Chains A and B, each alone.
Chain A
Amino acid sequence: MSALENLPDIDNGLLRFLTCGSVDDGKSTLIGRLLFDTKTILADTLNAIEKTSAKRGMSAVDLSLLTDGLQAEREQGITIDVAYRYFSTGRRKYIIADAPGHEQYTRNMVTAASTANLAIILIDARKGVLTQTRRHSYLASLVGIPHLLVAVNKMDLVDYDQAVFERIKAEYLAFAARLGIKDVRFIPISALEGDMIVDRGERLAWYDGPTLLDILENAPAAHTEQAEDFRFPVQFVCRPQDSANPELHDYRGFMGRVESGEIAVGDAVTVLPSGASSRVRKIELGGESLPRAIHEQSVTLLLEDEIDISRGDLIVKSAEAPEPVKQIDATVCWLSETPLSPARTYLVRHTTREVKAKLAKIDYRLDVNTLEQEATNGLAMNDIARVTLKLAQPIVADRYADNRATGAFIIIDESTNNTVGAGMIG
């Protein structure tokens, strides 16, 4: 697993994943184990947490100290905020989003899940499927994480008994079916002993599937394996007219990131919401011309015709153009300590566009533990609800289930400029 031996081979992309579970489930131990067994924790870091653990009178090294970065977290022994951790195996780079399991859980988990393509859901083998397991799974599916990996941890405390694992698996599958979760895998592990994380160990011989790290190494890096429509929100328009180079006088480059799909030189495109059409003349990246650009690439598009395009516009393939809308139905997670005020106007940021928005109605609030729908007039922090919003200007959106980039938005309170809500259209 030495990164050095494999240096030239790091080309299996990057996987962002989320770990869900409370400290009691061994989440920090699992992260610590992954970092330790892939030789990511360096000697001085280990040294520092050994010292702190000893100072607090603990007999073993507390691996949660690796992820609790803030003074207040260390003082109170709790995790306050999402932390990001990095490791690389030589084959692939990983970004772990570690969300805390306390009262602000929904807000933090939705935040961490929004950029993840895989979630590891930890279950304590002694306790089985709990309310919080259901909540984690529901939130992961709500935010559209395509792959779930249920890790039944602490197998060492149930004598590595296969029957325990099978019982938990059956119990989980029964409720996962109700959530519509499709891709879910199960693995028995002991994060403490290191069984089936990076090394197989000898005590889980009855399990013949891949190790946890093998699953991560081979999980698809793309958010979806389906072909998606091309979506290119314009971030910035490059017009270097003042340049001494006369060739650049007519240069108009539309800069942005391919949020989904792909585009090639010659493709017919439409600019929304105006509806003007043209063809792609050139695709540039750092002074080089590319024949095509794929999902997640940041490029500059040059078109054959002179069209008025500015930040906030969306370039799509003409054959795949969605309709602009002035009202959206969405599932919203409220993130702010200040409750939603139904009378107020908020700002919605959708792709690179900002529009003013007002609440039209709240259909219901969802209890994330029981999944029951409740009537409500307002939203407080951590609430998840189905709402309808009226917009001052049209936006060009897709259903979140069809397109994560053009189906998502955030809600901003203009008085504080805080991000107060997150929404998924559809």
Chain B
Amino acid sequence: MERQSLPFTIFIHIAALVLAIVILAPVVWLFVMSISSTPDLVAKPLHWWPDTVDLSRYGVLLSSVANSAGEAFVASLFNSLKVAGMATVAALAVAIPSAWAVSRTPSVGWSLYAVIATYMLPPVALAVPLYMTLAWFGLLNNIFGLALVYLTILAPFTTWLLKSGFDSIPREIESAAVMDGARLDQILRLITLPLAAPVMATAALFAFLLAWDEFFYALLFTSDQRAKTLTVAIADLAGGRVSDYGLIATAGVLAALPPLLIGLFMQRALISGLTSGGVKG
């Protein structure tokens, strides 16, 4: 690809630009909506760019006044953080040993397919049994209950992801460690897990996002500020008689921030190619 004709170069750049616009336009519009005043948003024809920048909605949503929209929003923000965080940690705790076991014992690989098969069921099919189970354990409208439900979604997915990560770590490295006298826990702690760090970070990030964005189960299994998550809180803003589109957009922007920060923070861990050099090539 050292030599490219000029039209081709232009074509590549235009294609990249179109892709960027398609991806970024909704996000930009979300942000523009969040800082537009209500008259700007309902005007006909639509004002694409607000006459005045209105940041008041951020204040509304982040206020801590009792019984305000802000209080509900902030509570749901923390619920989401707790639920997604707990579910992610639990999913990794379950997935790391099982993924390693499946990766190193190909003869039990079918079991992973069996678990993945549960993904084929639509969530709505599981909603009633899950609801009844949670009710039985008294875990409805409870962040632990919701985290438990999310664990059932995240664990198969993270196991699958980690298995392919472990697969890429040559078994010979572990064999070498066995001959060097390392115990199983030492092999995992000193060699396999450090080498799998990038894929574990990836799995954790995707698991967190999946739990963060989940709406269906959260809507069904939570009912008030003690357990409602962000997605449900945003939906609540759209309910009622009057919908403030600007407020919904603001909530959307705020909801996108924590995953974004986590993604930036984990960028270092996501660097791949950590395994290079141990074996040939």
Bind each other: no
